[in-house]
Structure 1
Amino acid sequence: MTRKIADCRKYPSEMNCSLTIIGEEEEVVRAAAEHAASVHGHEDTPEMRESVRRDLEDEVTSDDGNHFVQLIEFQSSRRDEINALMDEWEDKTGGKRTATKAVLTAEHDEPERYFEFVEFPTYERAMENSRLPETGAFAQRMRELCDGEPTFHNLDVVRAEAL
């Protein structure tokens, strides 16, 4: 059975709640309703629980065989600004982005040369992420921080193992 996800980031609030609840559908509905009542001050009613149930999404796992990775290669002498930009993008796309993991690396022997690995469940979900207005704005600002044009590599994962 596919597990379900309730993600507070999809519902902006003054407290900027970032709680994500994952589990079997009934567990998630109960926990999300209790959270909405105790933290956000909503009344725990059957209607509210039904609303939570309608908004649940399926958990996307990494073992479905359809993983996709985008490798972005770039050079920049503005590491702090790039990190701040990445933090800003994460904040603005919370609950909307389809990327599941990102790893930024710096070339050991060339510290201003970077490789970022961004993981997605599928190529289609990566393209959905690319179409977000926040991603377009991020990409434009990223280009301004780079020394030259970034290079993008679209990679289908054919084998992945935890070692």
Structure 2
Amino acid sequence: MLQTITDWINNIAHAGEGEDKYGSDDPKLSVAAILVHVIAVDGVVTDDEKRRLREVLASNYGLTAEETEQLVEEATVREDDAVDLYSFTSVLKRELDDAGRHKVVESMWEIVFADGEVSEFEDNVVWRVAELIGISTRDRMTLRHKIEAKTKGES
């Protein structure tokens, strides 16, 4: 009990310090958290996946390296604290138009193919997120084939 009171007092005393840059309703944070989840879902996080995550976020949102790192850090904390993906997908469904939601699925496939392998867990996460944000199976698979072809062309 004493620790709880002490923590509460410390929180009040330090209010406003080190606050997160991205609000919980910011689509960038939701996308980043989902992408962080995608790279970790198969239990193996490769350097290629980490590098591709940063490239995708920086490219999609015009972020500097420092801004990208901050977004990844905040997204990692949010994803670790999340019970499910709904808190992220509900923001995307509400805040993004159809083209924006398609871009999310495309970005997910870019992360999935970053290490050259598609696990059933990664495929399942893309499917669930696509369904939750209103992307059809046909569009999800079209985006998959597009990114897969692009990835094979880069090899």
TM-score, normalised relative to structure 1: 0.31
Larger radius of gyration: 1
Q: Which protein has the bigger helix share?
A: 2
